[in-house]
Amino acid sequence: MPPSTNELLTLVRHYWPASYEESLDDAHPELKRRRERWAQVLQENERWDDFRRQLGMRLPDFTLAEASTTSQASLRCAVYPAKGIPMQPVPWVLVGCLSILAPVYTVYGITFDYEGRKRGKAHLHLPPLPVAMSDTARIIARELEAHFHVTALPPEVAALPVPVAVEWTRPPQTTLFDALFDSDPTNIP
């Protein structure tokens, strides 16, 4: 059973400071707790590696890239619908996110503008995803659920504002999505 909205709100307050000014203080208790949580997650990283290997077998025509960053609150895997080096420009990418703070995940999409072969502006697509992405997104979701016994965070819950500062995102713009997954979701390799 997924955590309640109130439980999620309490949880993110435990790991993120209330203000941007507090987020600049390395000794702040919330930052310390999040660093400790990341240390635990990285010690158990073989589960994430196993997930990515299994996903790669399920999606043999796709390129998978590690997209996690410890400044955020999730393990992220970018899934590109192309193979080869150099990789062709891709119309979209899917990102599977596993929160390190709560037993929830999301899969979101990104489309890109291109100037020739150079990738330009990224456009975020939250669930429900465009048709071209939906079958692949379901595979990523099933693998996340099977490997980690997590549930999808409903989009309406992900959009709820939270009174915490996540990186450059400050209240009242900060959402549960920012705090549980990533406040800069289009920043991928």
Q: Summarize pLDDT for 134-158 with one digit per residue, the tens.
A: 999 999 999 999 999 999 999 999 9
Res 29 pLDDT > 90:
yes
The pLDDT score that the predictor gives to residue 103 is 98
Tens digits of per-residue pLDDT, 86-125?
878 899 999 999 999 999 999 999 999 998 888 889 999 9
Over its C-alpha atoms, the chain yields an Rg (Å, rounded) of 17
Which pLDDT score, from 0 to 100, does residue 87 have?
Answer: 79
pLDDT tens across 48-77, in order?
999 999 999 999 999 999 999 999 999 999
| Residues 55, 65: Cα–Cα separation, whole Å | 11
Query: Distance between CA atoms of 80 and 47, rounded to whole angstroms?
Result: 21
- Between CA 46 and CA 92 the distance in angstroms is 28
Give the tens place of pLDDT for each residue, 69-91.
999 999 999 999 998 888 788 99
pLDDT at 54: 97
pLDDT at position 157: 96
Q: Where are the domains of the chain?
A: 5-181
Which contacts qualify for 76-81: CB closer than 8 Å, 24 or more apart? 76/181, 76/182, 76/188, 77/51, 77/52, 77/140, 78/188, 78/189, 79/55, 79/136, 79/140, 81/136
